[in-house]
Structure 1
Amino acid sequence: MAKEQVLAKVAADLRRGHYHPAMQRLASLTAAYPDDLDLRARRAALYRQVGNMVEAGRWGFLTEDAAPEEIAAFERARPAAWARLLMLEVKADTADNLGPAAKDRLTRLIERAGQEGPARVAWTDAGPRPEISGFWRNGFPCLLAAAIGLSIAALAVVGLITVIRWVR
C-alpha cells in the first residue's frame, strides 16, 4: 500500500478516535521509511495526543517541535546515550536534513554516545554502530586465521606421526 493511502487511513482512524490502529499504521510506515522526518513528527504528535511523553520524545527527537519535557522523558527512560541513539532507529546520518534544534540534540547525543563507549559512532548501512578500531577490524581476523592455520598444521603433524608409528 502506498504511503499516502496509509496516511489517509491513519487520518480516518484518528477521526474515529481509533488511536491504536493509527499507531500501528504509523509504526509500519516509520519502519519502511526510517529517515522520513515528517512521519516521525506525525508519530510524535500522536503519542503526544495520547499522553505518552517518552515515545513523543523518542519520535520527536529529530524534529523541531519536540517539547523539552518530552525529550527529558525520553532521556530518563533511556539513560544510556547509545541506547537512545539506537532507539531513534535512523539508518543514515540525517544531521544535514535537520533543523537547528534537532541537529544540536543529535550532535550532542552522538558525542555523548562516543564518550560513554564502547567506541565512537560510525554510520553504516544499518545505522549507527560503534566504530571498530584498526586492529580489531584489520589485524585480529588475520591473527585468528593464522592461529587456526597453525592449529590445523599441528594436528596434521601429530596425525602423520601417529600413522607412521602404526605402520611400523
Structure 2
Amino acid sequence: MWTFMLSRARFTNAEVDAACGVSEWARQNFTRKLRREGILRDAGRQGPTPYFTVLDPTQAQAFVSRRRQTGDGAIWAAMRTLKMFTPDEIALAIGVGDGLPNEDAIRSYVSLLREAGYLSVIQKARPGVRAARYRLVRDTGPLPPKRQRKTVLIDGNEERVVHVAGEFL
C-alpha cells in the first residue's frame, strides 16, 4: 500500500483497495496509523469523494512537475495550448530532440485520447492529402492523462478476459 501511495500525488480509498488487493479493514488500519503520525493528509475532494496524499506540498509539486515533463506531458501541454490541431502541428509545437516523442508516439497518444473522449474529430483525414484535425473537448488540467499497461489473463476456453492485474471483474 505504501508503494502505491508514494506513486501518486493523490488517491482515494477505493483506488488503494483495488490496486493493492487488500481488505478494507487492512487499509483502514494502515491509513489510521499514517494519519496519527501526520504522514497521510487530506488532498481535497471531488464531489463527495475525499482524496488523500502522503506527500508534503514541496514533494507534491515536484511529483506533478515530473509528470508534466514526460513525452505525454509535452503532447498534452501542446494540445491544451493549440485547442485544435493535427498530430503534425503538435510535433511542430513540441519540436524534436532527446526525450521528446516522435510522430508515431504522438499519433498513438492522440488516438488513445480520442477513444477515451478527450478529443473530437473536426475534420477527417484524407490519406495523402491531409491529416485529421482534432479539438480538445475534455481539458481536465495540466497533468496529462496517463497511459498504463495492465497484465490481463484471457481464458482461451471461454474467449474472454478473466482477470486484469489489480482489478476485479
* Structure number with bigger Rg: 1
TM-score range normalised by the length of the shorter chain: under 0.3
State the TM-score, normalized to the length of structure 1: 0.26
Higher helix share: 1
Structure number with higher relative contact order (C-alpha < 8 Å, ≥ 6 residues apart): 2
State the TM-score, normalized to the length of structure 2: 0.26
Higher strand share: 2
